[in-house]
Amino acid sequence: MASTRDIRRRIKSVKNTAQITKAMQMVAAAKMRKAQSAALIGRPYAQLMNEMMAKASEGTVGFNHPLLQSRPVAKRAVVLISSDRGLCGALNSNLFREVVKLDKNTVFITAGKKAAQFVARTKRTLAAEFSYKDTPEFTEARAISKLAQQLFLKGDVDAVEVLFPRFVNTLTQQPVLVPFLPIGKITATTAGINAPKQELTEHSTPQIFEFEPDEETVLGELLPHSLNFQMHQFLLETKASEQSARMVAMKNATDNAKEIIKGLTLEYNKLRQANITKELLEITTAQMAVG
């Protein structure tokens, strides 16, 4: 049986751990609000860009672009986006379960240290490794997107997909695998991003687009930019998912630590009371023996 001194040490140790997890929870909560705001703000822009591209494609006949050309898929690349650090619950492990389902011949482009470590540990082919900040910048996303486009245009891969944890809400982050290249048919929906389309009301007017010099020129310029923006949005979604998962994980850890402290304190009080009772019995027995 543990002594009162051992229990006091365990209580102190758990309290120190609880202080750390509480501090991490507060930091993650502050970052979470900023990351969620950035991810949600970008969705309407992504939706509007897709609507504009879809409208431009309607005015083109026989429009052809290298990023639109589909071919039989002999080799594919996957952009795997993860967090840089752990302590964010099952976010990364759920993501990596989807990787296990992929073909072993898949080439990976990683964004985030955990993704790069997983690809290296499982001995999969790594084409390139990227990092991104707590507030992902457009230049970081553009570098990833540009490499993916180069691999596709050179014929090194026949298709590119993106695997990332999509932000649903604070408690839910869903790993999704979305197509990236070839672009295929241009529609007004945004792949992998929940961007609710605004319904027309009594006082609202539909979007009207005018293209200069013509639809084909505008569409040709927008296609690479739209891919860059999509990649930036994927990074924002991942960061919002990471901070949300970390905040929830640290809150659960803090609550569990408090429960452990409560149980240890009860055990300590019982043991202390038993020791006091034992000492009283010994004193009483000694007095009766002397008397």
Tell me the C-alpha to C-alpha distance, in Å, between residue 147 and each of 105, 109, 181, 228: 18, 9, 12, 11
DSSP string computed for 204-242:
--------SS-HHHHHHHHHHHHHHHHHHHHHHHHHHHH
CA distance 97 to 207: 41
Residue 111: in which H helix or E strand, if any? strand 107-111
Catalytic residue among 88, 160, 162, 193: 88
Instruction: Look up 124 and say whether it is catalytic.
Output: no
Structure tokens at 218: 């505008």
- Taking alpha carbons only, the member of 269, 265, 251, 264 closest to residue 18 is 251
DSSP string computed for 158-188:
SEEEEEEEEEEETTEEEEEEEEEES--S--S
Residue with tokens 């960061």: 239
How many whole angstroms from its chain centre is CA 259?
29
DSSP class of residue 67 equals G
State the first-to-last Cα distance of the chain, in angstroms, to the nearest integer: 34
The CB density around residue 159, as the number of other CB atoms within 10 Å, is: 19
Which residues participate in catalysis according to the annotation? Answer: 88
